[in-house]
Amino acid sequence: MKRVNLPALFFTVLFLTAFNNSSAQELYFCEGVDDDGYAINDASTFTVSESGGYLYFLVRMGRGRDIDCNEVLFDIYKVDSRGKETFDNTIYQDVEPEWTWFWKQVTFYDRGTYKVYVYDEDSQLITSGKVKINYR
C-alpha cells in the first residue's frame, strides 16, 4: 500500500484553495461603496423602516478579471423558513465590459431573507449571496 505524504497533500490543498478563492467573484451587501469599489459597512443583515429602505449590492470580480459584458441582472428571491425560494423580481443594470466591480442601490419594502443571483447577459451565473432584512 502506498503511503500518502500528508504535509505535501496539505500544502497542495491549501495552495489550490487560495488560488481558487483569489479569483472568485464576490457579492457584498452594504451601506455604500467607496470610490475604489470597496464596500462600506458590509453585512448580511440590515434593518429598514416599515416604509422601506435601501442598501447596495456590490459585485467585485476576481483578481485580474473584468465583467466582459454590457448588462447584468440581479434575480431576487425571497426565502421562507424552510429554505424554499420564491421569485421576487429582477433588476437589470448596464455595465461596461472592462469594469472589475459594479454596484446597484436596491430598496427593500418587506422584511425577510432574500437570495440574490447575479447573471451576465448570457445567463451565466457570476455570483450569489443571501441577505436578511428586518424592520426597525
User: Can you tell me the mean pLDDT for 63-71?
Assistant: 94
State the pLDDT confidence band at 136, using cuts at 50, 70 and 90. Answer: confident
Q: Count CB-CB contacts under 10 A for residue 79.
A: 17
Q: What is the pLDDT of residue 3?
A: 66
Global pTM value: 0.81
The residue among 46, 77, 71, 81 whose CA lies nearest residue 122 is 71
State the pLDDT confidence band at 4, using cuts at 50, 70 and 90. Answer: low
- Residue identified by cell 459597512 is 41
Three-class SS of residue 8?
helix
Mean pLDDT score across all residues of the chain: 89
- Higher pLDDT pick, 9 / 55: 55
Q: What is the pLDDT of residue 9?
A: 46
The predicted-structure confidence for 87-100, as pLDDT tens digits, reads as follows 999 999 999 999 99
Q: What is the pLDDT of residue 118?
A: 98
Selecting from 3.30.1380.20, 2.60.40.1930, 3.40.50.300, 1.10.10.10, what CATH number does the domain 25-135 have? 2.60.40.1930
- Higher pLDDT pick, 12 / 133: 133
> Domain residue spans in the chain?
25-135
* Cβ(59)–Cβ(126) below 8 Å: yes
User: Can you tell me the mean pLDDT for 44-62?
Assistant: 95
Interacting residues of 11 by C-beta distance below 8 A, sequence separation 6+: none
